[in-house]
A and B are shown apart, each in its own frame.
Chain A
Amino acid sequence: MGSAITIRGLRKSFGSTIALDGLDLDVATGEVHGFLGPNGAGKSTTIRILLGLLRADGGSATLLGGDPWRDVQTLHGRLAYVPGDVNLWPNLTGGEVIDLLGRLRGGLDQGRRDDLIARFHLDPTRAGRTYSKGNRQKVALVAALASDVDLYILDEPTAGLDPIMEHAFRECVAQIAANGSTVLLSSHILSEVEALCDRVSIIKDGRTLESGTLDELRHLTRTRVTATLARPMTVHELTATPGVHDGDVDGNVVSAAVDSGSLAVVLDVLGKHGIQALTSRPPTLEELFLRSYAP
């Protein structure tokens, strides 16, 4: 497995505003990579550098083995892009825009195009100015997904889509991934990232905070354990156990957040009191995300 995107120490400022402050990103070939961060964290700036629209001030970026600034033409024939804020030409129809962008990229699969238009319930005969936000998004999605390319860069592609379309989108991405293409998915919809992505990178203020598979990220955090015990234990006994945080005892029911590495030890301690029922829930991506941003 080669690397589709390798970014090291990327820097970019706009005047006095620092957008990227030494960002790192690794996207392996064939994976669906979630790119997370709040508004203003630098996601779109990173993507725009990868597209050769912006020139980085420092650091390095490699895209599909090439230089995103210099090798524009060869690289862009191998990638498709959906912008976060889709603006269409007011007097071109959706169908015309799809064909234009596909041809500029080097051709698109007509069968796939028509299939996607049907799947997304898009009317391709309407002028750009008459589309709603969701429909503009669909035009950009169809234009990108109808091309058979190595890399898809999707910047908040489902903002404005309804749940049915969101579902259709997930199916499409799963299909692309199954075909071996790479996807960089920037998104705010964490359930979407959780469902689709093999690995995620969380960035903040232009730097990478965490990167890895969801399991890896979870290993760095705590699992919430709730147990009903046959013989009650004291709060002190619970909190004295290494790796236990936020311990709470309510009669026979104990609950605690447990460091992933200490799970075995904690279960041993609980076992001595006779476990009658046990639930353990790994943190959701939302919890991981919010924890990354905790002050």
Chain B
Amino acid sequence: MTQLAGSRTLIRLAWRRDRIFIPVGVVAMTVLAVASVQATLALYPDTASLGPAVRAVLTNPASKALYGPVSDLNDPDAFAVYKTTMMGAVFLALFGAAIVRRHTRVEEEQGRLDLLGATVLGRRAPLWAAVVVATLAVTATCAATAIGYVAVGADPVGAIASVCGWAAVGCAFIGVSALAAQITSTGRGCAGLTTTVVAAAFATRAVTDTRASTPAWLEWVSPLAWSQRADAFAADRWWVIGVGAAFMCVCVVLAFVMLEHRDRGSGMLPKHAGPARGGRLLSSSLGLAIRLHRAGAVVWAILFMGLGAVVGALAAGASDMLKDPDVAELLRMFGGETADIADLYLATELGVAAVVAAAYGVATILRTRTEEVAGHTEMVLATASTRRRVLGAQGLIAFVGSAVLMALVGVTIGLTSSDAAGPSVGELLGAALARVPAMWVCVALTVLLVGWAPRHAGAVAWTLLVGFLTLGEFGALLELPLWMRDLSPFAHAPTLPGGDVAPLAQLVLIAIAGAVALVGAAGFRRRDIG
């Protein structure tokens, strides 16, 4: 097997390089899954505790689209793994694919494989080693999780069937990534292709899971669905792991064939030459910033419209559940004295969207610092462009972009809302935009950090945002004093739809954002660059 010569050494090298990445991934996924199952089992220990309210949530089409069906509505174990099954499958798909990519396409792109290839190394050894290491990582996650499930009281046979479903998904996407590494020529391209396949698989199974009558074979098309087809704690089809393994073998053999037909460093797809001249856009700092953010912004926009569509689809469910006296009672217990629970649901989702949109703004401003560290800003500032324009371009995209994302999510919720009695598109747009001033304060604080404390800007900015999120989500639960909860700008955003608008508070937030951003810009204009 000269084609595989050197695999053992490469496997050891891969383990040496990933000795933090892989264990952290394995432990994080395991702990998350087992803790979630333990918490759910503690809350719903027996069939009797799975009341009509819980069933109403589980059979809601929107929940099915996100998490898939529950294998057995009468089994607390089945309910306990219901949320972790799909989330874990997505994680393992991305995890396995990332490991393969790191040791194949990325190594090749960085030229490190040339260094290794000059030694006695079989052509297939790098891909083989990557597949072996990724498979081991997926297997370790599955084994540890199964032990954890049993330890917190789940039925052993079901637990094994459940992680066999996971393993099938992990193997499938190891195979997909092995193919993507041959087809594309850059690490980014490889990651993009794999992620697209994951997203397509998720969308496919979301559709098949929510349709009333689906032919049996269609339920097997999406590899992500194999985690549910294991039917843990019901039919217990542990053999799905064989389906995943077979799929992986086919992919790897195909990848080996492709290896024979391509040069090292290139992919199966022809490398297309880029433009030899700069387009009209590349004439100003703003044009450059737009060009650099364009692709990312499109992804964010799609993400927010997807979020809006899911929230909109769930709206009727939220409204229907209220008609169920059990649910109404349940929500009254949790939700307090809000008049309309359907409105509260929408307001809560918009609140979450606002924090995520603020994260987009923060990341955009922080790009100023990444550009500076990478040495790009130096080249731009050596031209007639000014610091005001360089920062202004990023600021414009951050402030306007985050507001546009909110507008998109508001409009999409309105357009896709399944709740005919719910708020109109216009009302939802207004409700979404009402969060913008609070978001802008977060973005402005990042400008302040980039201007005055550039070295720590990234760490502090993200800590602040997570802090604000925590104050909003858990502040009331932890019974923190009001003044502390009021530190978060989001605490001063109106809870629309349904709540009251305080125009003065909004104006104050905008004024604070403007003032803070100007102080930050002043810092950026007087400090050293680089």
Contacts and interface: CB of A to CB of B under 8 A. Distances in A.
Interface in A113-142: 124-127, 129, 140
A290 interface: no
Nearest to B285: A104
B278 A104 contact: no
A95 B528 contact: no
Contact of A95 (B276, B380, B386): B276
Contacts of B495: none
A125 B529 contact: no
Contact of B374 (A55, A87, A96): A87
Nearest to B385: A104
B375 A83 contact: yes
B148 to A, nearest CB: 41
A232 interface: no
A127 B109 CA distance: 13
A55 B383 contact: no
B52 to A, nearest CB: 53
Contacts of B277: 95-96, 99, 124
Interface in A74-93: 74, 76-77, 79-81, 83, 85-89, 91-93
Given A85-B375, A89-B292, A96-B282, A105 B275 contact: no
B278 A96 contact: yes
A125 B526 contact: no
Secondary structure dominating the interface of A: mixed
A13 B529 CA distance: 14
Contacts of B380: 101, 104
Interface string B261-295: 00000000000011111110011110110011000
Q: What band does the interface of chain A fall in when counting residues whose beta carbon is under 8 Å from B?
A: 35 or more
B51 interface: no
A127 B274 contact: yes
Interface residues of B, number: 34
A48 B278 contact: no
B384 A53 contact: no
Contact of B383 (A48, A96, A104, A124): A104
Given A53-B528, A85-B375, A105 B384 contact: yes
Contacts of A52: 381
A95 B275 contact: yes
Residue from B277, B287, B291, B527 whose CB has the most chain A CB atoms within 10 Å = B277
A99 B385 contact: no
A99 B278 contact: yes
A106 interface: yes
B410 to A, nearest CB: 31
A185 interface: no
B382 interface: yes
A104 B283 CA distance: 6
16 contacts: A53-B529, A54-B528, A54-B529, A73-B384, A85-B375, A96-B274, A99-B278, A101-B379, A103-B278, A104-B283, A104-B383, A106-B384, A125-B273, A126-B273, A126-B274, A129-B186
Interface of A: 48, 51-55, 72-74, 76-77, 79-81, 83, 85-89, 91-93, 95-101, 103-106, 124-127, 129, 140, 153
